[in-house]
Amino acid sequence: EGDWWEARSLSSGATGYIPSNYVAPVDSIQAEEWYFGKIGRKDAERQLLCHGNCRGTFLIRESETTKGAYSLSIRDWDEAKGDHVKHYKIRKLDNGGYYITTRAQFDTVQQLVQHYIERAAGLCCRLAVPCHKGTPKLADLSVKTKDVWEIPRESLQLLKKLGNGQFGEVWMGTWNGTTKVAVKTLKPGTMSPEAFLEEAQIMKRLRHDKLAQLYAGHGWAWLVLGRSDWHPLPAGSLLDFLKDGDGRYLKLPQLVDMAAQIAAGMAYIERMNYIHRDLRAANILVGDNLVCKIADFGLARLIEDNEYTARQGAKFPIKWTAPEAALFGKFTIKSDVWSFGILLTELVTKGRVPYPG
């Protein structure tokens, strides 16, 4: 089934489907709790610097620059820098071994890790504990919803309202009482069922770590956004987080990192030949470790010939809209870049309305 594999429990003997990214071959590096696979340097730093991690917390990831090699990232502390992360390249020998320094070579990465758990041996400190690894991202709510849009209304439980949008509200909730989700509801009369379904189809098509993932819905009244790797803060959106939440106390490096995450998601949208047309802080979801996800694709469109012309009378957020789009209704990826620039001002001013006064 691609993203879902049939499996049998060794303890109970029961069979069923499990997400394929929840399992790995026994004794493989993928099965190790400290192995994070293909994550970038910035993502590694974000996770290691999460509150609650101590000095010596570590992870191993694929090298971004050398194919077949790995990188060891360790949380460290000193009086000059405070909490920070050190990175070491794990190089591969021609005969298949691994090393950080040629003085200590190992047959497997597991042996290398055990060596540095026992002694620092030139590293900033001994390896203490693996970094907490979040739940892998699900491709769908379950194998039953893989090719199905409609789910029963009673399977969704709304727990806490996270925010209001132009067309509806976003709630924190659960599906089937087990899976944490964010649920988007529509205000009556604000959006046609056809337009809602169009937004849903766009979100189903776009899959990226920095985009809110759509899983399923109920009629035209619900959008279910998976929460496998983000946990909504009480503030909800980036805008509320900056104005009334912990975002008020963020320093410039953290704000720059959040901007970089949003840029990565928008770069993916561009590669897929889409434009968002409604990029602003109110449409960004913020989660644990300051993880950002782009949401609200109500105005997103597939573009042909690098341009999309909006229908006459279409509504869009004027203060975030590029001049050529506002005046002539002509949208390109460059108009999304303009909106991203306005979003940057929201970041550095902690949620102030653009062009005040």
Q: Where residue 47 sits, what CATH number does that domain have?
A: 3.30.505.10
Domain hosting residue 282, numbered range = 238-348
- DSSP output for 12-48: T--EEEEEGGG---TTSGGGSTTEEES--HHHHHHHH
Please indicate, yes or no, whether residues 54 and 87 belong to a single structural domain of this protein. yes
The two structure tokens encoding residue 353: 């309305």
Please indicate, yes or no, whether residues 222 and 275 belong to a single structural domain of this protein. no
Count of the separate structural domains present in the chain: 3
Residue 131 lies in a domain: no
pLDDT above 80 (res 105): yes
Q: What is the predicted pLDDT for the residue at 70? A: 96
User: Of 193, 226, 259, which residue is a domain's last?
Assistant: 226
Residue 253 lies in a domain: yes
Please indicate, yes or no, whether residues 66 and 147 belong to a single structural domain of this protein. no
Partners of 16 in the β-ladder: 7
328: domain CATH number? 1.10.510.10
- Of 275 and 71, more confident: 71
Q: What is the predicted pLDDT for the residue at 332? A: 86
Q: Which residue has the tokens 């979801």?
A: 285
Q: For residues 241 and 289, is the Cβ–Cβ distance under 8 A? A: no
* Closest-CA residue to 222 (of 241, 197, 251, 244): 197
Query: What average pLDDT is seen over the chain?
Result: 82
178: domain CATH number? 3.30.200.20
- Cα–Cα distance measured from residue 233 to residue 4, given in angstroms and rounded to the nearest whole number: 30
Residue 71 lies in a domain: yes
Q: What is the predicted pLDDT for the residue at 101? A: 94
- DSSP output for 122-133: TSSS----BPPP
- Exactly one of 278, 288, 305, 336 is catalytic; name it: 278
pTM: 0.72
Q: Is 146 annotated among the ligand-binding residues?
A: no
User: Of 165, 192, 226, which residue is a domain's last?
Assistant: 226
Q: What is the predicted pLDDT for the residue at 172? A: 79
- Tens digit of pLDDT for each residue in 27-46? 888 889 999 999 999 989 98
Place 228 in a pLDDT band, splitting at 50, 70 and 90: very low
Q: What is the predicted pLDDT for the residue at 166? A: 60
- Of 263 and 224, more confident: 263
Please indicate, yes or no, whether residues 342 and 318 belong to a single structural domain of this protein. yes
Please indicate, yes or no, whether residues 99 and 194 belong to a single structural domain of this protein. no
Residue 242 lies in a domain: yes
Q: Give the other-Cβ count within 10 Å of 345's Cβ.
A: 14
Please indicate, yes or no, whether residues 168 and 260 belong to a single structural domain of this protein. no
Residue 273 lies in a domain: yes
Number of residues that make up the chain: 357
- Tens digit of pLDDT for each residue in 110-123? 999 999 999 999 99
Active-site residue 257, yes or no? no
DSSP state of 237: B
Q: What is the predicted pLDDT for the residue at 169? A: 75
Please indicate, yes or no, whether residues 179 and 256 belong to a single structural domain of this protein. no
